[in-house]
Amino acid sequence: MKIDRANMRVRVSIPHKEAKIVHDRLKSLFKTIEVEDWEAGDLEMIGLIDPGNYKAMEELVRKETKTHGVMELLSLKVVEEGDIEIS
Protein backbone atom coordinates (compact mmCIF):
# COMPACT_ATOMS: atom_id res chain seq x y z
CA MET A 1 0.00 0.00 0.00
CA LYS A 2 1.41 3.37 -1.04
CA ILE A 3 1.36 6.16 1.54
CA ASP A 4 1.14 9.73 0.22
CA ARG A 5 1.76 12.89 2.20
CA ALA A 6 -1.28 15.11 2.61
CA ASN A 7 -1.08 18.29 0.57
CA MET A 8 -1.64 21.83 1.84
CA ARG A 9 -3.99 24.28 0.09
CA VAL A 10 -2.56 27.79 -0.12
CA ARG A 11 -3.49 31.14 -1.65
CA VAL A 12 -0.74 33.44 -2.91
CA SER A 13 -1.36 37.06 -3.91
CA ILE A 14 1.42 39.01 -5.65
CA PRO A 15 1.26 42.69 -6.68
CA HIS A 16 1.61 43.47 -10.39
CA LYS A 17 5.18 44.81 -10.10
CA GLU A 18 6.58 41.47 -8.94
CA ALA A 19 3.99 39.08 -10.40
CA LYS A 20 5.69 38.42 -13.75
CA ILE A 21 9.10 38.06 -12.10
CA VAL A 22 8.09 35.32 -9.63
CA HIS A 23 5.31 33.62 -11.62
CA ASP A 24 7.35 30.74 -13.11
CA ARG A 25 9.23 29.97 -9.89
CA LEU A 26 6.01 30.13 -7.90
CA LYS A 27 4.18 27.90 -10.38
CA SER A 28 6.90 25.24 -10.11
CA LEU A 29 6.32 24.91 -6.34
CA PHE A 30 2.63 24.02 -6.74
CA LYS A 31 1.65 20.39 -7.12
CA THR A 32 -1.78 21.36 -8.51
CA ILE A 33 -2.99 24.84 -9.44
CA GLU A 34 -6.73 25.27 -8.88
CA VAL A 35 -7.03 29.02 -9.62
CA GLU A 36 -4.66 31.34 -11.47
CA ASP A 37 -6.11 34.83 -11.76
CA TRP A 38 -4.42 37.89 -13.28
CA GLU A 39 -6.73 40.73 -12.24
CA ALA A 40 -5.43 44.24 -13.03
CA GLY A 41 -1.93 42.79 -13.34
CA ASP A 42 -1.97 41.34 -9.82
CA LEU A 43 -1.54 37.58 -9.54
CA GLU A 44 -3.61 35.32 -7.30
CA MET A 45 -2.97 31.58 -7.25
CA ILE A 46 -4.75 28.92 -5.22
CA GLY A 47 -3.58 25.36 -5.25
CA LEU A 48 -2.08 22.37 -3.51
CA ILE A 49 1.54 22.17 -2.43
CA ASP A 50 3.66 19.50 -0.82
CA PRO A 51 4.33 20.46 2.81
CA GLY A 52 8.06 20.32 2.04
CA ASN A 53 7.65 23.26 -0.37
CA TYR A 54 5.89 25.52 2.15
CA LYS A 55 9.02 27.21 3.49
CA ALA A 56 10.53 27.71 0.01
CA MET A 57 7.28 29.27 -1.22
CA GLU A 58 6.99 31.51 1.84
CA GLU A 59 10.58 32.75 1.41
CA LEU A 60 10.05 33.37 -2.31
CA VAL A 61 6.92 35.42 -1.66
CA ARG A 62 8.49 37.36 1.23
CA LYS A 63 11.88 38.13 -0.35
CA GLU A 64 10.96 38.71 -3.98
CA THR A 65 7.95 40.91 -3.22
CA LYS A 66 9.66 42.84 -0.40
CA THR A 67 6.80 41.81 1.93
CA HIS A 68 4.09 43.13 -0.42
CA GLY A 69 3.01 39.61 -1.40
CA VAL A 70 0.67 37.54 0.76
CA MET A 71 0.67 33.78 1.33
CA GLU A 72 -2.32 32.31 3.15
CA LEU A 73 -2.75 28.73 4.35
CA LEU A 74 -6.32 27.66 3.48
CA SER A 75 -6.21 24.01 4.52
CA LEU A 76 -3.52 22.17 6.43
CA LYS A 77 -4.18 18.76 4.95
CA VAL A 78 -5.94 17.77 1.77
CA VAL A 79 -6.12 14.11 0.82
CA GLU A 80 -7.58 12.88 -2.45
CA GLU A 81 -9.03 9.39 -2.55
CA GLY A 82 -10.25 8.60 -6.03
CA ASP A 83 -12.74 11.29 -6.99
CA ILE A 84 -13.29 12.39 -3.38
CA GLU A 85 -11.28 15.15 -1.73
CA ILE A 86 -11.01 15.14 2.06
CA SER A 87 -9.99 18.40 3.80
Domain positions in the chain are 7-86
In Å, how far are 28, 35, 74, 80 from 83, measured between CA atoms? 24, 19, 20, 7
In CATH terms, the fold of domain 7-86 is Alpha-Beta Plaits (3.30.70)
pTM for this one? 0.83
* Tens digits of residue pLDDT in 13-32: 999 999 999 999 999 999 99
Q: For residues 20 and 41, what is the distance between their CA atoms, to the nearest angstrom?
A: 9
Between 72 and 1, name the one with better pLDDT.
72
Please give the pLDDT value at position 84: 57
* Tens digits of residue pLDDT in 51-71: 999 999 999 999 999 889 999
Q: What is the mean pLDDT of residues 2-20?
A: 88
Please give the pLDDT value at position 82: 60
